[in-house]
Amino acid sequence: MSRTNLDERQLQQRHKAGNQAFLLMAFLLLADMALQNYGMKWLEYPLSNYAIFMLGVGSYLVRLIWSGAYVGPGGAQGGAKGKNVLGALLAIVVAACILIVTFVNPTAQSAANSGANGKVILIISVTAGLVILSTVYLIRRRNNRAE
Amino acid sequence: MGKNLRLKASRAAKDMSQKQLADAVGVTRQTIIAIENGDYNPTLRLCIDICVTLGKTLDQLFWEGTKDEQNEPG
């Protein structure tokens, strides 16, 4: 077994999905460049690249989960559980910070007045973290159940 | 690639679940399911690990010969 704790089928699936996601992103970025060259703007510059990036990474992630190549074998071991608990604690701490910043000390956010909404970004980060943790938990349950 | 019914039968004969076999050879249950269903072609290393775990030879579990070869005595 490899250092990544994935079995051979999972590694094969990852390589396949990764290669295809990379080619998809390269194609979409080139298509975006070409469209912008002809004056067709479907989205402003940094956002368009970000959207393409998210599409590539999102498709990669969905394919990994779909093909069962996201969590390796031996997921029920203590180390993995410790990581889960640590992740959940981190998410709770960040969520508490958001609540404090939002309701207890709302003036604290005025320091970041650069246009990006820090609260929203933090909430999205915490939500993404919790979604990842839940996904890993569900996959481990599916992997460890009897036939 | 067809279903590997011989692997399934050998596993059942040893009274092992897919999960138990997967844990014994260090892969996920989905990988064992894929091998049994003929959706994944395992490496020689994994084939040997499965054979050792189930007490069979590579020929008995993974050889896909012609019908004549399979029916040969001995």
DSSP B13-49: HTT--HHHHHHHHTS-HHHHHHHHHTS----HHHHHH
Residue A127 has pLDDT above 90, yes or no: no
Mean pLDDT calculated for residue range B7-35: 93
Mean pLDDT calculated for residue range A70-93: 71
Mutation to test the B interface, candidates A5, A9, A15, A145, most B Cβ within 10 Å: A9
Lowest-confidence region among A4-8, A17-21, A75-79, B23-27: A75-79
Mean pLDDT calculated for residue range A115-124: 69
- What pLDDT, in 10s, does the model give residues B47-57? 999 999 999 99
d(CA A105, CA B52): 64
Residue A20 has pLDDT above 80, yes or no: yes
How distant is the alpha carbon of residue A145 from its chain centre? 26
Question: A9 vs B23: CB contact, 8 Å cut-off?
Answer: no
- Report the alpha-carbon angle A13-A17-A18, nearest 5: 115
Band of residue B67 on the pLDDT scale cut at 50, 70, 90? low
d(CA A123, CA A116): 13
Instruction: Please provide the size of chain A in residues.
Output: 147
Question: B29 vs A10: CB contact, 8 Å cut-off?
Answer: no
Contact call for residues A99 and A33 (beta carbons, < 8 A): no
Higher per-residue pLDDT: A9 or A132: A9
The answer to whether the Cα torsion of B58, B61, B63, B69 is positive or negative is positive
The burial of A6, by beta-carbon neighbours within 10 Å (0-12 exposed, 13-18 middle, 19 or more buried), is given as buried
Question: B26 vs A72: CB contact, 8 Å cut-off?
Answer: no
pLDDT of residue B32: 94
pTM: 0.71
Q: CB distance from A9 to chain B under 8 Å?
A: yes
Provide, as residue numbers in chain A, all residues whose Cβ is less than 8 Å from the Cβ of B19.
Answer: 143-147
Closest residue of B to A66, CA-based? Answer: B30
Provide, as residue numbers in chain B, all residues whose Cβ is less than 8 Å from the Cβ of A9.
Answer: 27-28, 30-31, 34, 40, 42
Q: CB distance from A87 to chain B under 8 Å?
A: no
Higher per-residue pLDDT: A82 or B38: B38
Mean pLDDT calculated for residue range B66-72: 60
Query: How many angstroms separate the CA of residue A126 from the nearest CA in chain B?
Result: 29
Q: Which of B2, B44, B50 is nearest to B24 (CA)?
A: B50
Mean pLDDT calculated for residue range A114-136: 74
Higher per-residue pLDDT: A122 or A114: A122
ipTM of the complex model: 0.81
Band of residue B24 on the pLDDT scale cut at 50, 70, 90? very high
pLDDT of residue A2: 46
User: Under DSSP, is residue B45 helix (H, G, I), strand (E, B) or coil?
Assistant: helix
Report percent pLDDT > 70 for chain A: 77
Per-domain residue ranges of chain A = 3-146
Q: CB distance from A1 to chain B under 8 Å?
A: yes
Provide, as residue numbers in chain A, all residues whose Cβ is less than 8 Å from the Cβ of B43.
Answer: 8
